Amino acid sequence: MRRSPERTAWTVLLAAFAILIALVVGVPATVSAVVNSATVASTTYVRLQAGRVQTYLAPATENDARVVSLEGREVDEGSVILVDPDASSQGMVTITPSDASDPTVSVLTYARTQLQVWRAQSPRFGLSAAPDETVLILAAGRAQFTIRPRSTRPARTTVITPFGSFDLGAGVHTIEIASGEARAFTREGSLIASAPTAPALTLTAGQRTTLATGTTKLVVLAPERDLIRNPRFSTDFNPWETEIRSTNGNDGHASLVAPGGEPSLLLDRPGTGLNWGRTGVFQIINENVAGRQSLRLALEFKILNQELPVCGTLGSECPLMINITYIDRAGAQREWFQGFYAEGSPSVDLPDVIRDNPSNRHVARDLNTRESYESVNLLTGELGNAQLIQRIRVYAEGHAVSTQIYRVNLLIQE
């Protein structure tokens, strides 16, 4: 039987049309899938802040770990960061998308912390709708996570622990592995906590929760209480009092400023050829801390100028120093110090501890950069025998110096 030419023509025409439709739909879909799924490694950088920090790249082991310097170095996906047991040890991990200048994820790691960078990827193409993605594994210890997504692209940041995971939104979050559980606290922003045996829970600023093996329900726990009044210097100095001293009459100034509308405290002693001086504020606390679960210092600051390197030859002249005076259980008055600096490298002549009180190492931070800090639980460390917190002092010491403080918190958990 002879086929109709017209039928053959229609068959060819319809087949061509079907192919055209497939190409019109399929090619853009394929291109879109490629654009949205193609990624490139973000830059992960590790720097020493105080004490000792090491890294190694799996499948190597801790025996192959290399020490990290103050200058730091770049590490690859799969790298493990180890922070020494020394209570003063700290490290900073920053993750920056390949086409960005500022990190989207910053992690401050504390003593006894083991953190692995499992995944750190950003979209290869600017047209991609995919987020910057970071997956971190916190196996032990404690870390503070600061998430600052780009204005042009969302970020997806996940922290995996032995007891569950946390999806971190923009903000500042602290996660700790201790006593058979994972503890999370959101200082700013929000996070979603997930456990294998419980529905997810969203935390907002000021809230905390815990994950443990077999947890069937996640709950928001009572918040920590701040012992500091007027912690953000939002109204006036009250109840802070100023402390200004110098050896030659070149006094510094403590003033309240609000650049960009945000209130802060400026400790400023400008000039050249100056001798010793101290510019600061203090506040009376008088709080009994016996039997409390935890006490943590938290602050945000920016070191603007520092003439003396590190903290001077005695280790006591830091551009920012926090001093807590307390009474121990034997009735003796004691002092705890935490210093911060932005210039110089520690050496025998420039110690990163106070020579006559060397229990706590000073922490290196970047100059002209807003920084955040949160201590470990002081009641299980340096202030383990504290009975009464008497006073907190916040000051800049040395020669010419300028430091801006945005907030100071002394957080207690009942």
| pLDDT tens-digit series, residues 36-69 | 567 899 999 999 999 899 999 988 888 889 999 9
Neighbour count for residue 133 (Cβ, 10 Å) = 18
What average pLDDT score do residues 332-340 get?
Answer: 95
Same domain, 391 and 314: yes
Q: What's the domain count of the chain?
A: 2
Instruction: Among 153, 186, 221, give the residue marking a domain's end.
Output: 221
The answer to whether the predicted template modeling score (pTM) of the entire model surpasses 0.75 is: yes
> The CATH number of the domain where 80 resides is what?
2.60.120.1440
18 domain residue, yes or no = no
C-alpha 389/C-alpha 179 separation (Å) is 26
Query: 142 is in which domain, residue-wise?
Result: 39-221
Alpha helices in 152-228 (DSSP H): none
203 domain residue, yes or no = yes
Residues in the chain: 414
What does pLDDT average to over the chain?
91
Same domain, 105 and 171: yes
C-alpha distance from residue 388 to each of 229, 290, 323, 360 (Å): 17, 7, 14, 20
Q: Quick one: pLDDT at residue 247?
A: 87
Neighbour count for residue 199 (Cβ, 10 Å) = 10
Nearest partner of 166 among 99, 1, 258, 144, judged by Cα: 144
- CA–centroid distance for 393 within its chain: 23
What average pLDDT score do residues 211-222 get?
Answer: 91
Same domain, 397 and 307: yes
What average pLDDT score do residues 85-103 get?
Answer: 91
pLDDT band at 183 (very low <50, low <70, confident <90, very high): very high
226 domain residue, yes or no = no
Same domain, 305 and 372: yes
Q: What is the pLDDT of residues 242-284, one digit of tens each?
A: 999 998 888 999 999 998 889 999 999 998 888 899 999 999 9
Instruction: Among 167, 187, 221, give the residue marking a domain's end.
Output: 221
Hey, is 24 helix, strand or coil? helix
> The CATH number of the domain where 371 resides is what?
2.60.120
Same domain, 288 and 409: yes
Q: Quick one: pLDDT at residue 322?
A: 97
Nearest partner of 373 among 47, 49, 136, judged by Cα: 49
Contact 289, 387 (CB under 8 A): yes
Same domain, 268 and 376: yes
On the CB side of 360, CA atoms within 13 Å amount to: 19
Same domain, 79 and 134: yes
Contact 278, 245 (CB under 8 A): yes
Is a pLDDT exceeding 60 seen at residue 411? yes
- CA–centroid distance for 318 within its chain: 21
Same domain, 86 and 153: yes
User: What is the percent of the chain where pLDDT is above 90?
Assistant: 72
Q: What angle do CA 59, 64, 65 make, to 5 degrees?
A: 100
Q: What is the pLDDT of residues 155-177, one digit of tens each?
A: 999 999 999 999 999 999 999 99
134 domain residue, yes or no = yes
250 domain residue, yes or no = yes
337 domain residue, yes or no = yes
Contact 400, 275 (CB under 8 A): no
What average pLDDT score do residues 290-297 get?
Answer: 90
Q: Are strands 132-147 and 155-161 parallel, antiparallel or unpaired?
A: parallel
Q: Quick one: pLDDT at residue 250?
A: 87
What average pLDDT score do residues 341-369 get?
Answer: 91
